[in-house]
Structure 1
Amino acid sequence: MASPSGTPTKITQGSQTKGGIGESTLRPDGTLKVTGEFAYSSDMWHEDMLWGQILRSTVAHAEIVSIDTGEALAMPGVYAVLTYDDLPTDVKNYGLEIQDTPVLAHGKVRHHGEPVALVAADHPETARRAAAKIKVDYRELPVITDEASATAPDAILVHENRDDHHAGHVPHPNIVHRQPIIRGEVAAARERADVIVTGEYTFGMQDQAFLGPESGLAVPEEDGGVHLYIATQWLHSDLRQMAPVLGLPEDKVRMTLSGVGGAFGGREDLSMQIHACLLALRTGKPVKIVYNRFESFFGHVHRHPAKLYYEHGATQDGKLTHLKCRIVLDGGAYASASPAVVGNASSLSVGPYVVEDVDIEAIALYTNNPPCGAMRGFGAVQACFAYEAQMDKLAAKLGMDPVEFRRLNAMEQGTLLPTGQPVDSPAPVAELLRRVKAMPMPPERQWESSEGADVRQLPGGLSNTTHGEGVVRGVGYAVGIKNVGFSEGFDDYSTAKVRMEVVAGEPVATVHTAMAEVGQGGVTVHAQIARTELGVTQVTIHPADTQVGSAGSTSASRQTYVTGGAVKNSCELVREKVLEIGRRKFGSYHPAWATAELLLEGGKVVTDGGEVLSDLADVLEGETVEVEAEWRHRPTEPFDLRTGQGNGHVQYSFAAHRAVVEVDTELGLVKVIELACAQDVGKALNPLSVLGQIQGGTTQGLGVAVMEEIVVDPKTAKVKNPSFTDYLIPTILDTPTIPVDVLELADDHAPYGLRGVGEAPTLSSTPAVLAAIRNATGLELNRTPVRPEHLTGTQLSEG
C-alpha cells in the first residue's frame, strides 16, 4: 500500500546559519507538488480494496417513507449496502460542537445532498451504479430558507426536540446561537452624532473550492479496529467524533494524515471518514472513497451567507459616536461551527476602530439550505464587508478622505474592544493604512501598446469584449481585524514530540506532531524552529497521525502560533537534556560545561562566547533524547450571553488593502488591476511563506468580491451550480498584481513574537475591491459578489 504521507520528509540545508527562523527556506513538498509527483489522499491504493459510494438526497427537506436496497445488493461486485438501520451503535450523530448531524439520514432529510445510504463494491463504477439502484421514497416538506421562514410563529422546526447547550438562550428553536454585545449608551450617543449612515448588506455563500476533493482509505485492523488514511484539518477532532459511532475505543481508531489538496475550513467537519470506516469494518476489506467535484460541493460545509444591518454615527470632525448592527448568518441544516462563527462576527463587528457605544446582535439560523461552517476568516469576513462599506459612506457624507477618516478612528494598543477586552499587543491600524496608501499606483491604461490593445489587461479579458471604450478606473481601501486561535474559553493547545539522536554520524532531530499540513507550510516552519533551537542541520518531519497528542485544527491562523509554540517548547526541553548528557560525559574535562548558558549551533555545543566545547554527535553517541510536551496560550473566557463582555480572544491580526480596478460601465465587466496589501505579521518566521499566505488570502477575498457564490434556489433549497463550470474561482488571468508591505511588530505573548497571518488578508481584500468598483461607477453595491447586471441595471435571464 502506498500512503501519501510516505516516508518522513528529511530536510537538509547546510549549517545552523541557514534554514532557521527568519529565513525563506524552501518547502520540502514544493517540488513534488508543482511537478505532479506529490501523493494526495486520492492517490492511495491497497491491493484488495473496495470502492465506497454515497447515495445523497435529491430533495432538501422531506420525510423518508421507505428505502429499498434489494436491487443494489443483488448486483455482482457489491459487497455491502448500508442505511441508518445498519449503524452499529446507538450513537448515530456527530458534530464539531453540537452532535446534530446524522451519519446517514433517518426519518427525514434536511438539505439537498444529505447522505442516505452507502455502497461498497469492487469497482468505482459498480459502486456508483449500485447506489443509483437504491430506491428512496420521499414525502417532501416545506423548506426553511431565510430568517422570515425560520422564525415565523408557525415555522416548521429543522431540528425537533433540541437539547444542546445553546437551545436555552435562543429566542426560537430554528436559531442555532445568538450573541449580543452591549456597551455604553447607544441612544445617548446617537443624539451626539452629526451624521448617521445606515446600510443593509448581503454576503453570498462561498465555497472553499479546494482542488483536492474529499478522499480517504479505511483499512480494517487485525485487532478489530480500523486505520484511516485521510485528508483532514484536525485528526483528533475526527477521532473524537468517529469512535463512538463506530463503537470502538479511540485507541482502535488510528488515523494518519494523507496528502491534503487544500482546506480553508472545508475539512474541519467530517465528510467520508465515518462512511469509509463503516464499510471497511462491515466488509473486512480496505475501502477507498473519493468524491467527484459535483459531490464535493455537497460533501462539505461552506461560508455562511449573511444579511447585515448597520447604523453608524459620527461627529462633524470625523469621530465615530456609535454602532448599532444586526448580523444574520445562515447556518444551513446542521450546526457545524455556527456558534463560533456567531461569536467572531459579533465580537469583531465594529472592525479595527474605536467606538465607545455599541448595540450588536449576531445570530445563526437553522435552515434547509446547505450546511455552513468554517471558512478562512469565518464570521469576521462578512462583518468586514459591511463595516468597511459604512466607513466609506461616512467619509463621503463628511467630505473626508476615506483613508484619513479610518486612520482618525483606528484602534491602537490599549484600545478596549466592544467586549471590554483590551488590545494588549501592537495594533498598527493607522500605520498599515498609511503604508498601503503610499505604495506606488499601477500605470494608467495598461492595455494600450503600439501594436494595439492587449485584451488580457481589459475587463472581459480574452473574451475580447472591449478595447477600452467605457472603461473607468476606480480605487478603494479597506482594513480588517481578525482574531487568532480558538476563543471563548476553548482549551486551545497543541502537542509536539521531538527526538534527537545520532544517525550515520550526524545529530538529527525528528519532529512529530498531529498538525495537518494543508498547504500552509507548517512542516517548513517546524524544521526551522528545530534548527534554531537545537543547532542541527538535519531535521526529519514525522508524518502526522494520532500516535502523538492533539495539535488542534489547522485553522484560525493558529498552527504556527500554537503548534510552533509546542515544537519550540519541546526543543527547549530536549536541549536541556542534551546539555545534561554533555555535562555528565565531558563536564569534568572543561569548566565551561558548568556554565548555565550553553548553546547548540551548527551541530556543536558552544559557550555564549563562541568557544566550541564538543560536537553534538559526540554528546549524543549512544543516547536518544525524546520529549513530548504540550503548549497552551493564555486562557480566554466565554462572552456573557446578555452583554457580550469577556476576554474572549487571544491575539489579533490586521491587514489593509488598496484595490485598483477598471470597470467597463457599459458591459458591467470588472478587471482588478492591483490589490496592494500592508500587514503586520509580528515576526516573519519564513518570509516567503508569509507572502504566499497574504497573496493567497487576498485572492480568495477577490473571488467572493466579483465571482464566487453558491446559488441556492429559494423555493426548493437546491444548489444550482455545483461545479467549476458554474461556480467560478479566480484563475491566474483574474489574479492581479499583489504587492505586499510586511510590518513586523512583535507580540510579546507569542512565540518569537509572531502573529497569525493567513486569514486577515481575506477580510479586507473583498471590501477594498467593492470600494474601488463603487468609486468607478458611483453605485452603492451592497452585496457580494458583484455581477454584471448590478453594474448595468440589466437583469440577465437564467438558464
Structure 2
Amino acid sequence: MPQQPRVTPTELRQGAGTKGGIGESTLRPDGTLKVTGEFAYASDMWHEDMLWGHTLRSTVAHAEIRSIDTSEALATPGVYAVLTYDDLPTGVTHYGLEVQDTPVLAHGRVRHHGEPVALIAADHPETARRAAAKIRVDYAELPLVTDEASATAPGAPLLHEGRDDHHSGHVPHPNILHRQPIVRGDAAAAAARADVIVSGEYYFGMQDQAFLGPESGLAVPAEDGGVDLYVATQWLHSDLRQIAPVLGLPPEKVRMTLSGVGGAFGGREDLSMQIHGCLLALRTGKPVKIVYNRFESFFGHVHRHPARLWYEHGATRDGKLTHMRCRIVLDGGAYASASPAVVGNAASLSVGPYVVDDVDIEALALYTNNPPCGAMRGFGAVQACFAYEAQMDKVAKALDMDPVEFRQRNAMSQGTIMPTGQSVDSPAPVAELLRRVKARPMPPEQQWTTAGQAPDVRALPGGLSNTTHGEGVVRGVGYAVGIKNVGFSEGFDDYSTARVRIEVIGGEPVAVVHTAMAEVGQGGITVHAQIARTELGVSQVTIIPADTRVGSAGSTSASRQTYMTGGAVKNTCEHVRERVLEMGRRRFGSYHPAWATAELLLEGGKVVTDGGEVLADLVDVLGDEAVDMELEFRHRPTEPFDLRTGQGFGHVQYSFAAHRAVVEVDTELGLVKVVELAVAQDVGKALNPLSVIGQIQGGTTQGLGVAVMEEIIVDPKTARVRNPSFTDYLIPTILDTPTIPVDVLELADDHAPYGLRGIGEAPTLSSTPAVLAAIRQATGLALNRAPVRPEHLTGTGPAA
C-alpha cells in the first residue's frame, strides 16, 4: 500500500536539535563549484584512449532515404567506425518514453529536420565532423505535414503507417497521436444562461529548454561485454530501459552513472546521445565521448509544444462563470515523446484555478514533420494558462469588473470539484495569492531629471541598445494565476527508491544516502541531506552519486522529486531510525524506563525523549554495527482519465502561483521592459527557503522569456528550424530579468511528506500571461500570441 505520511507534532520535533535540517536555508554543496567554474559537467569528462562520436543529421524534414554511402567517410584517416541503421546489433531499433516510435537511426525515411542518420567515431572531434560531411545520403523529398489541416486532410501522408500503440484505437486520424475530451455538466445549456459570452483564439510558440550544458556523455566498454555510461540525464532508469534492448544487453550490463548536468527543464527526459555513444563504444572497443555543440543541441532534444487554443467563456452580470468550452491543438512533431501526457495535463487543467461546473473540452496532439516536442517545465499547463488567463481579462472587461476581483469571485478553494470530477482535497489559496500580489507596493515610476535628461537607459525598453530615452513609453500592469499538477498522473506507477545507511565513522555517527535522483540544478541533493539530518539526528550526511546500482528515483520532472525521492529518503530514514531505536532498547532498555514508555527521538547525535531528556549517544547505540536499508515510496494511486468523458482521479497534488507584472512599453518601437514580476505561491512547506525562492524566480524568468522573446522559428514551407543558436534564439539575460519579489505561503498538504508541494513549475505558468496582460493594458492591443514581437506592438506585423 502507498505510504501517506502526515505532519505530526513528533515530526516537527524530530531532529530539532540538529543543525542543517528541514526548514533551514542550508547552502548547496555544488553551488560554489558552479559559480567558480570548478564543477565537472558531463562535457568535461575525459578517458585515456578516448574517441569522439558525432551524429550525421538529416538536412530535410520529410524524405525517403534512397541510399547512404559511407565509404569515403570510412576511408578518412582517424575514423574508427561509421554506423547506420543496418549496423544496429539487434532487432530492437526504436525507443521512446511511452510509445516506441523513435528510430535509433533513420531507416527508410526521415520525418524531421535534424533526425539522426549515421554515427561516426574518430580520434578527434574535427575529424569526426569532416568524415560526417563525406557521407552521401540520397533523399527523395516527400510532402510535408506541418499543421492540423495538412495532417488530417484527405490523402495526407501518414507519418507512422500501421501504428498500433495504445492511443491509436481512440483517435479519429492516424496523424493524431492522442486525444483527450473532458465533458462535465451541460456547457450548451449553461451558455444560454450567460449574460456575456467571450471567445478567443490563441497561439503559443515553440520554446526551447535552452539549458546551458549541452547533451553529452561518455560510454566506456567493459571487460564483461557490457558498457559503463556516464551521462547528463533526467531519469537514469528510464534511459536504461530504452538503451539495453537496442544494445542486446541485459540491464545489469549497462551501468549508468549521472554526470554533471548543466540544466534540463524536461529536455533531457528523452534520449539524445546515450544509445549512439554505447553503440560506438561497443563497436570500437574504446571509450567514446559525444558532446553536442549548441547548433546540434537544438536538434538533439524535444521542445515545448506550440499550440493553437480556442476558448469560450460565459458569465453572469454579477461575475460568476457559467461555462467554458475549449479546443487545444498541440503540435507534437515527428515522434511521440511525452505528448500523450502533455495532452492529459492540458485538457485536465484547461479551466485553470476556477470554479466552472459546465465544460466541454478537447485537447489533442498531432504527428507532424516539425521538430519533436515533449516535456518542458509546465508540461501542457503553460499553454492552457496563457489562453484561459487572457480570457479572464476579456470577460472581466466585458463585465466592467476589476480583473483581480473577477478572478477572486470565481477562484477555486479546498473542496472544489475539478472538471475531471476530482475533488481538490488540500489547500487551494487562489484568492489569497491574488490578494497578496495585488496588495504589494508598486515599483516607482521612471522620473525625468531636473535637467530634462532620461533616466538610466538600462531601465528603459531597449536597455543598453539605447534605442529610447523615454519617448512614447507607457506603463502597464497585469495579473495572472495558474494551477499545475505535481507528479506523474493518470494511473502511472510513480515511485522512488532510497538507500540509507547509518554507522559510526571516526567516532561520529554518519548517514549515507544513495538514490538515483538526477540532480539537474534543482537542489535535490541538498534537501536529501537536510531530510537525513532531521530524521536521523546526525550532522554528517554523505550523498552518494546517482547511478543504477540503486532502485529507480523516477524522473527529475513534474515537480516531483522533493515529494517522491524526498519522500523515499524520509520513509527509509524513518525505518532506519526505528531499527536504531530498537537496538538502543535492547542494549540500554534496562537502565531507564523511558526506553519503553516515552516517545523517542534522534537529534544532535543522541537519543532523547520528546521531553528533551538524553538517554544515550548514537555512537554508543550503534557501536560497531551499521543499519542499512533500501525502500520504495509511493504516493496515493491515481487513475487514467476516461477517454470519452475525461472523468477520473488523475492527479496526485496541485500547486498554485499568482503573478503581477509591471511593464514599460515603447509603443513606437515595439520594445518591452519588464520592470517587476511579483509572485505569491503556496509551497506547503519550505524545506529549504532559499532554494524555494530560487526555484520560483527561475520559473518566473522562463515564463518571461516565452512572453517576449523565446521562440523556435520553423519555416512553414520546409519545416526546417531557422534559428538553432543563441544568436537568433534569444533568452533573458540579467539585463532583461526584472525584480522578482516572492511571497511564500506554507499551507500543508496532509497527503505529502512534511506537507510540502512541488514548486518548480507553477511560477512558469502565470508569469507569461501576466506579462501579456500588462502589455495589453499599456497598448490597448489584443495580443493573442506568445511571444510578443515588436511588430505586433507597432502594427507592422500580424498578431499571430
Whether these two folds match at TM > 0.5 is yes
Aligned partner of 1:369 in structure 2 is 370
State the distance in 2 between where 1:16 and 1:723 align. 51
Q: Aligned ranges for residues 703-742 of structure 1 at < 5 Å?
A: 703-742=705-744
Query: 1:271 and 1:16, CA in 2 relative to 1: closer, same or farther beyond 3 A?
Result: farther
Amino acid in structure 2 at the alignment position of 1:165: H
Aligned partner of 2:782 in structure 1 is 780
Q: CA deviation at 1:795?
A: 3.6
Aligned partner of 1:10 in structure 2 is none
2:271 is paired with a residue of what secondary structure? coil
Is the Cα contact below 8 Å between 1:16 and 1:531 reproduced in 2?
A: no
- Deviations 1:738-792 (CA, angstroms, capped at 9, x unpaired): 0010011000000000001000000000000000000000000000100000000
State the distance in 2 between where 1:732 and 1:657 align. 20
Asked if residue 463 in structure 1 is aligned to residue 453 in structure 2, the reply is no
1:496 is paired with a residue of what secondary structure? strand
Aligned partner of 2:456 in structure 1 is 454
Aligned partner of 2:576 in structure 1 is 574
Asked if residue 652 in structure 1 is aligned to residue 654 in structure 2, the reply is yes
1:161 is paired with a residue of what secondary structure? coil
State the distance in 2 between where 1:390 and 1:576 align. 53
Amino acid in structure 2 at the alignment position of 1:790: H
Asked if residue 71 in structure 1 is aligned to residue 72 in structure 2, the reply is yes
State the distance in 2 between where 1:628 and 1:276 align. 31
Match of 1:502 among 501, 504, 519: 504
State the distance in 2 between where 1:795 and 1:26 align. 48
Aligned partner of 2:541 in structure 1 is 539
Q: CA deviation at 1:49?
A: 0.8
Q: Aligned ranges for residues 464-483 of structure 1 at < 5 Å?
A: 464-483=466-485
Is the Cα contact below 8 Å between 2:504 and 2:623 reproduced in 1?
A: yes
Is the Cα contact below 8 Å between 2:707 and 2:772 reproduced in 1?
A: yes
Q: CA deviation at 1:725?
A: 0.2
Aligned partner of 1:354 in structure 2 is 355
Aligned partner of 2:602 in structure 1 is 600
Aligned partner of 2:667 in structure 1 is 665
Amino acid in structure 2 at the alignment position of 1:154: G
Q: CA deviation at 1:447?
A: 7.2
State the distance in 1 between where 2:239 and 2:381 align. 25
1:383 is paired with a residue of what secondary structure? helix
Aligned partner of 2:390 in structure 1 is 389
Q: Which 10-residue stretch deviates more, 127-136 or 472-481?
A: 127-136
Amino acid in structure 2 at the alignment position of 1:102: P
State the distance in 1 between where 2:428 and 2:554 align. 26
TM-score (norm 1): 0.97
Is the Cα contact below 8 Å between 1:16 and 1:603 reproduced in 2?
A: no
State the distance in 1 between where 2:286 and 2:18 align. 50
Amino acid in structure 2 at the alignment position of 1:605: V
Aligned partner of 1:51 in structure 2 is 52
Q: Which 10-residue stretch deviates more, 600-609 or 35-44?
A: 600-609
Aligned partner of 1:198 in structure 2 is 199
Structure 1 segments, 4+ long, off by >6 Å, are none
Gaps of 5+ in 1: 1-13
Amino acid in structure 2 at the alignment position of 1:159: H
Query: 1:228 and 1:16, CA in 2 relative to 1: closer, same or farther beyond 3 A?
Result: farther
State the distance in 2 between where 1:438 and 1:15 align. 35
Q: CA deviation at 1:448?
A: 5.3
Aligned partner of 2:187 in structure 1 is 186
Amino acid in structure 1 at the alignment position of 2:660: R
Amino acid in structure 2 at the alignment position of 1:493: Y
1:606 is paired with a residue of what secondary structure? strand
Aligned partner of 2:304 in structure 1 is 303
Is the Cα contact below 8 Å between 1:220 and 1:285 reproduced in 2?
A: yes
- Deviations 1:447-468 (CA, angstroms, capped at 9, x unpaired): 7587742100000001111110
1:22 is paired with a residue of what secondary structure? coil
Aligned partner of 2:100 in structure 1 is 99
Is the Cα contact below 8 Å between 1:447 and 1:455 reproduced in 2?
A: no
Is the Cα contact below 8 Å between 1:446 and 1:457 reproduced in 2?
A: no
Asked if residue 617 in structure 1 is aligned to residue 619 in structure 2, the reply is yes
TM-score (norm 2): 0.97
Q: CA deviation at 1:580?
A: 1.4
Aligned partner of 1:243 in structure 2 is 244
State the distance in 2 between where 1:522 and 1:268 align. 17
Aligned partner of 1:789 in structure 2 is 791
Is the Cα contact below 8 Å between 1:186 and 1:322 reproduced in 2?
A: yes
Q: Aligned ranges for residues 406-485 of structure 1 at < 5 Å?
A: 406-445=407-446, 452-485=454-487
State the percentage of identical aligned residues: 87
Aligned partner of 2:9 in structure 1 is none
Q: CA deviation at 1:335?
A: 0.2
Aligned partner of 2:524 in structure 1 is 522
Aligned partner of 1:6 in structure 2 is none
Q: Which 10-residue stretch deviates more, 326-335 or 125-134?
A: 125-134
- Deviations 1:576-601 (CA, angstroms, capped at 9, x unpaired): 11111112222223332223521111
Asked if residue 20 in structure 1 is aligned to residue 21 in structure 2, the reply is yes
Asked if residue 265 in structure 1 is aligned to residue 280 in structure 2, the reply is no
Is the Cα contact below 8 Å between 1:16 and 1:537 reproduced in 2?
A: no
Aligned partner of 2:124 in structure 1 is 123
1:672 is paired with a residue of what secondary structure? strand
State the distance in 2 between where 1:448 and 1:306 align. 45
State the distance in 2 between where 1:747 and 1:127 align. 53
- Deviations 1:382-441 (CA, angstroms, capped at 9, x unpaired): 000000000000000000000000000000000000000000000000000001100110
Aligned partner of 1:8 in structure 2 is none
State the distance in 2 between where 1:203 and 1:596 align. 59
Q: CA deviation at 1:620?
A: 1.4
Gaps of 5+ in 2: 1-14
Amino acid in structure 2 at the alignment position of 1:589: Y
Aligned partner of 2:323 in structure 1 is 322
- Deviations 1:675-718 (CA, angstroms, capped at 9, x unpaired): 00000000000000000000000000000000000000000000
Is the Cα contact below 8 Å between 1:83 and 1:116 reproduced in 2?
A: yes
Asked if residue 631 in structure 1 is aligned to residue 633 in structure 2, the reply is yes
Is the Cα contact below 8 Å between 2:490 and 2:639 reproduced in 1?
A: yes
Q: Aligned ranges for residues 100-249 of structure 1 at < 5 Å?
A: 100-249=101-250
Asked if residue 553 in structure 1 is aligned to residue 555 in structure 2, the reply is yes
Q: Aligned ranges for residues 72-87 of structure 1 at < 5 Å?
A: 72-87=73-88
Query: 1:448 and 1:117, CA in 2 relative to 1: closer, same or farther beyond 3 A?
Result: farther
Superposed CA RMSD: 1.1
1:662 is paired with a residue of what secondary structure? strand
Q: CA deviation at 1:97?
A: 0.2
State the distance in 1 between where 2:301 and 2:80 align. 26
- Deviations 1:633-657 (CA, angstroms, capped at 9, x unpaired): 0000000000000000000000000
Is the Cα contact below 8 Å between 1:447 and 1:458 reproduced in 2?
A: no
State the distance in 2 between where 1:530 and 1:476 align. 42
Is the Cα contact below 8 Å between 2:708 and 2:789 reproduced in 1?
A: yes
Amino acid in structure 2 at the alignment position of 1:68: D
State the distance in 2 between where 1:773 and 1:115 align. 41
Q: CA deviation at 1:17?
A: 3.5
State the distance in 1 between where 2:447 and 2:293 align. 40
